[in-house]
């Protein structure tokens, strides 16, 4: 896995996010992916508020998650996130959830940009596209060290 | 307990609402009270949408819950709900959560009516006040039978 | 769409399930699918409790959702659910979420059966397999009436 | 307000925690209080896991919240938390939720310690009592620096 394009975001499993099986409920991951995506957008594109300020709203049009290991209360998880693709009025995020370097889950979300007022599809604006893609390949100190 | 003023609303404990203690998480009750309140408003005042359609928004300004027994996954709970008080720009709801006639929790919520556009306090409108109070003492078939 | 194999389950969008975009948050659907799956299991296999009583636990190993239309507060949604596949220690559910006959979302979930004590994979027991598959094509009163 | 007894915990409002009124849903606060309480217990008593490891479970028996200002998506909130009282099998936590030094909400939760196996009430153990109370007035590095 190409590590450079991934933005790391940390979450700690809340007690309210567990269920009677004693593990983190599978719906909790959906919220963690969103929190990681928001953090990524803040890092590369000035935050979701900046996007909305320009009259653009991003809708979630799809999600896919594969759960490989259970997470439990108080686990510290790293959600690795990156924008995997962006074109037209659509973009796609990818995620890997890890605990101590061990893979817990993987997933992806699909999004559409719409005009905030009319809710009609609009192209992902160039400035956002550039930000998302720059986020995809940020300057990598470690790779330059190895060159 | 005066049964006549209470409006019954049924909820079934979702698996996602349980926690690693094997019981319904205490935050789940807050959502159940809201669902019961919405159902009560629908029954006595044409629903929350009707209130918003008149430019009124109801904010929640306080909540209080006492948990007496644990609820578990798949429990069918009856949330008894009534508007306990309404005056000026404020109203208050009361709740009793039961399972098979046994008390599980009691609580109350406090609300303020605001103008939907300005978010400034406005008096609970007379029509809503009447509806809330009529909801408080609905026609009781059983009591008329005994008279 | 083959209507007979689908089990209908109704949910009403809670206010707590909406978000600041004014629509039902995309994580809410994950919980609705679970509620529909639990209702289906109750109808065809005596409920999830019966399964656990036999020492079997069902884990969720994957989920996939495509959102086609937004749902809003107080919408009454029908979640059509069926067990799409079951073999070995795995089974798969399929879902269609509708509002007034209009498709709102589609999805699927993947599950694994494990021993409740050891959490090790165990084959989906024959009795459960039979129930799940019988659930897939239940007797249809309306079609028999018309024959 | 006596600042020394309060333990600060930071949360950032998730998008999933907002509702169609455009603000953080009032049930979200219940989860934030819990997260702050868990962080406080980790700081003063080795964490909730340590408590459970000694066979003690802490149940939530009551909650009270007063909402003074709305919080919105992405707000960074400080939850000030302290154990306000502990005696017998019961203890009580107090909370102040702030944003930029401005009070957003206040609240309290009530808890009972039970034997993890039997779920019967047991006294708050002395070691936990001491920890909770020490947490109430922790050593202040800044004040010792000035002495």
pLDDT (mean) for A48-72 = 92
Rounded-to-integer distance, Cα B21 and Cα B14, Å:
15
Nearest CA in chain A to D75: A49
Which three-class secondary structure string do you get for chain C?
A: CCCCCCEEEEEECCHHHECCCCCECCCHHHHHHHHHHHHHHHHHHCCHHHHHHCCEEEEEEEEEEEECCCCCCCCEEEEEEEEEEEECCEEEEEEEEEECCEEEEEEEEEEEEEECCCCCECCCCHHHHHHHHHHHCCCCHHHHHHC
- Does the beta-carbon distance from B73 to A16 stay under 8 Å? no
- Does the beta-carbon distance from A48 to D74 stay under 8 Å? yes
Q: How many residues does chain A have?
A: 147
- Does the beta-carbon distance from C21 to A63 stay under 8 Å? no
- Which are the contacts of D112, defined by CB distance < 8 A and separation ≥ 6? D58, D59, D61, D89, D90, D121
Q: Quick one: pLDDT band at residue C22, thresholds 50, 70, 90?
A: very high
Give the distance, in angstroms, between the CA of residue D8 and the centroid of all CA atoms in the same chain. 9
Q: Which residue of C13, C15, C17, C19 to mutate against D (max D Cβ within 10 Å)?
A: C19
Q: Quick one: pLDDT band at residue A144, thresholds 50, 70, 90?
A: very low
pLDDT (mean) for A46-59 = 84
Rounded-to-integer distance, Cα B36 and Cα B11, Å:
9
A145: pLDDT strictly greater than 80: no
Tokens of B125: 């409108």
Q: Dump the DSSP string for D40-107.
A: HHHHHHS-HHHHHHTTEEEEEEEEEEEE-S---TT-EEEEEEEEEEEETTEEEEEEEEEETTEEEEEE
Q: Which long-range contacts (CB under 8 A, 24 or more apart) does A140-145 make?
A: A140/A4, A142/A4, A143/A4
pLDDT at D39: 94
In chain B, % of residues over pLDDT 70? 88
The number of C-beta contacts closer than 8 angstroms across A and D is 34
Q: Which residues of chain B have pLDDT under 70?
A: 1-4, 135-147
Q: What is the DSSP secondary structure assignment for residue A16, as one 8-state letter? A: G
Q: Please name the member of D16, D34, D49 whose beta carbon is closest to the beta carbon of A14.
A: D34
Mean pLDDT of chain A: 87
Q: Give the minimum alpha-carbon distance from B35 to chain A in angstroms, rounded to a whole number.
A: 19
A142: pLDDT strictly greater than 80: no
Q: Which residue of C15, C18, C40, C46 to mutate against B (max B Cβ within 10 Å)?
A: C15
pLDDT at D143: 38
Mean pLDDT of chain B: 87
Which three-class secondary structure string do you get for B55-72?
A: CEEEEEEEEEEEECCCCC
Q: What are the tens digits of pLDDT across the range B44-83?
A: 877 787 788 888 899 999 999 999 999 999 999 999 999 9
pLDDT (mean) for A72-87 = 94
pLDDT at B45: 78
Q: What are the tens digits of pLDDT across the range C89-147?
A: 999 999 999 999 999 999 999 999 999 889 899 998 887 888 887 755 444 444 333 33
pLDDT of chain D, 147 residues: tens digit per residue? 334 689 999 999 999 999 999 999 999 999 999 999 999 999 887 778 778 888 889 999 999 999 999 999 999 999 999 998 888 999 999 999 999 999 999 999 999 999 988 989 999 888 788 888 775 544 444 433 333
pLDDT at A81: 96
């Amino acid at each position: 896995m190409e590590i450079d394009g991934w933005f790391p975001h940390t979450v700690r499993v809340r007690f309210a996010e567990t269920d009677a099986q004693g593990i983190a409920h599978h719906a909790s991951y959906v919220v963690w992916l969103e929190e990681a995506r928001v953090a990524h957008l803040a890092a590369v594109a000035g935050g979701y508020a900046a996007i909305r300020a320009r009259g653009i709203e991003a809708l979630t049009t799809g999600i896919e998650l594969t759960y490989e290991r259970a997470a439990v209360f108080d686990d510290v998880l790293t959600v690795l996130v990156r924008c995997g693709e962006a074109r037209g009025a659509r973009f796609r995020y990818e995620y890997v959830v890890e605990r101590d370097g061990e893979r817990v889950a993987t997933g992806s979300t699909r999004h559409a940009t719409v005009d905030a007022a009319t809710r009609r599809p609009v192209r992902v604006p160039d400035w956002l596209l550039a930000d998302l893609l720059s986020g995809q390949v940020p300057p990598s100190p470690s790779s330059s060290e190895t060159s």
